[in-house]
């Protein structure tokens, strides 16, 4: 078995850990010939569960690309294990290249991933959109700015890039980031702050981008229509996100219309809150409830929202009950003291 470790901690700066971001997705690639992928991953999950002092939350997810998710206790990171998923390696390199172009890409990408996780809309297994999907949304937005902050690396200088394929898919993109300022005349023209980019990101997807007609894509600058893609599920799904290499893959394929509307309502809520400057107390209180109690969503419109169970009010004790409890505690203390003295006397008699 050949194992290639592609940790986003090293290869994808968008996932670098800041003090407020505790998730470091890692990608493992196994090359096998005779093993069944799902059987192999189930065995790996079973092995990891035996090391309960090192790994927790070990889960096998039987998806189109089956994975084993885990949490490493010592290094405080989350990881994914997949088999024969070579496109994940190419995707990681592409994201790393975009992150190396401008440091604002890393900061904005990390912040979006952290916020969407806090709002409970980034768990694909629970009906949300994966963090990878949100990362592509960030890159697409930064490509569409005027002036753009990022180029389209898969369209850029293709005549100078050597052909490269994984299976049926072309995985070429411009990788000489150090020389990018020499060949891209608009490099460094965008001077927006990270705060302005964050508000622009929310505004772009709430007010500008037409989800009914277009697909979010980072492999071309010109608009990509849903009619051109002809995905079978395209009419039933509101949001469509194209994988940059596997062009047959819609990353929002399992995202329901209700969840899509909820995600946009969260973006709209945050946009309003940021502009009105009245977000601090309400969001902080909601976040503390989410952090302490769990299961509390930022907005009650979440498709999986269940109202938290009301806590039973504590029964106020009467003065008689308080006095009786104090008497019990005092009796217990006296009894223990008596037993201690009795034991001491018995030891003295034996001596």
Q: Is the confidence at residue 134, as pLDDT, over 90?
A: yes
Burial category of 90 from C-beta neighbours within 10 Å (exposed 0-12, middle 13-18, buried 19 and up): buried
Per-residue confidence (pLDDT) for residue 28, from 0 to 100: 41
Which among 235, 231, 233, 258 has a CA at the least distance from the CA of 247?
231
Query: Across residues 73-86, what is the average pLDDT?
Result: 79
Instruction: Quick: pLDDT tens for 183-230.
Output: 899 998 999 988 889 989 999 999 999 998 899 999 999 999 988 887
Inter-helix orientation angle 103-118/131-144, to 10°: 140
C-beta atoms surrounding 346 within 10 Å: 10
Per-residue pLDDT band at 66 (split at 50, 70, 90): confident
Per-residue confidence (pLDDT) for residue 94, from 0 to 100: 93
Per-residue confidence (pLDDT) for residue 205, from 0 to 100: 95
Per-residue confidence (pLDDT) for residue 22, from 0 to 100: 28
Q: And the tokens for 78? A: 């989350």
User: Higher-confidence residue: 27 or 144?
Assistant: 144
Give the neighbor-by-neighbor strand order of the sheet with 67-72: 2-7, 26-31, 77-83, 67-72, 55-61
Instruction: Quick: pLDDT tens for 245-276.
Output: 999 889 988 888 888 889 999 998 888 877 65
Per-residue confidence (pLDDT) for residue 282, from 0 to 100: 54
Phi-psi region of 137 (alpha: psi -120 to 50; beta: other; left: phi over 0): alpha
Per-residue confidence (pLDDT) for residue 101, from 0 to 100: 94
Instruction: Quick: pLDDT tens for 138-191.
Output: 999 999 999 999 999 998 877 777 778 888 888 899 989 999 999 899 998 999
Q: And the tokens for 341? A: 């003295």
Q: Is the confidence at residue 36, as pLDDT, over 80?
A: no
């Amino acid at each position: 078995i050949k194992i290639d470790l592609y940790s986003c901690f090293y290869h994808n700066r968008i996932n670098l850990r800041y003090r407020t971001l505790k998730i470091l997705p890692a990608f493992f690639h196994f090359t096998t010939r005779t093993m069944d992928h799902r059987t192999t991953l189930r065995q790996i999950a079973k092995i990891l569960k035996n090391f309960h002092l090192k790994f927790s939350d070990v889960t096998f997810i039987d998806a189109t690309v089956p994975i084993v998710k885990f949490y490493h206790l010592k290094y405080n990171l989350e990881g994914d294990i997949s088999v024969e998923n070579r496109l994940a390696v190419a995707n990681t390199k592409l994201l790393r290249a975009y992150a190396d172009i401008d440091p604002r890409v890393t900061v904005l990408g990390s912040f979006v991933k952290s916020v969407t996780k806090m709002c409970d809309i980034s768990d694909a297994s629970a009906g949300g959109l994966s963090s990878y999907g949100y990362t592509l949304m960030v890159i697409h937005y930064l490509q569409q700015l005027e002036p753009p902050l990022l180029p389209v690396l898969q369209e850029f200088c293709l005549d100078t890039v050597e052909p490269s394929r994984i299976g049926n898919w072309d995985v070429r993109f411009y990788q000489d980031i150090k020389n990018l300022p020499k060949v891209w005349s608009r490099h460094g023209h965008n001077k927006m702050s990270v705060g302005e980019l964050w508000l622009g990101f929310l505004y772009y997807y709430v007010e500008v981008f037409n989800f009914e007609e277009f697909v979010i894509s980072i492999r071309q600058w010109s608009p990509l229509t849903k009619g051109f893609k002809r995905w079978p599920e395209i009419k039933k799904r509101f949001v469509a996100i194209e994988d940059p290499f596997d062009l047959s893959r819609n990353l929002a394929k399992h995202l329901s219309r209700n969840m899509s509307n909820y995600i946009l309502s969260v973006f709209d809520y945050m946009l309003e809150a940021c502009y009105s400057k009245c977000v601090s107390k309400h969001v902080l209180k909601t976040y503390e409830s989410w952090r302490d109690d769990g299961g509390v969503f930022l907005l009650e419109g979440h498709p999986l929202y269940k109202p938290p169970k009301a806590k039973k009010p504590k029964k106020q004790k009467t003065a008689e009950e308080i006095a009786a409890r104090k008497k019990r505690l005092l009796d217990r203390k006296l009894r223990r003291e008596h037993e201690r003295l009795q034991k001491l006397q018995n030891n003295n008699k034996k001596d």
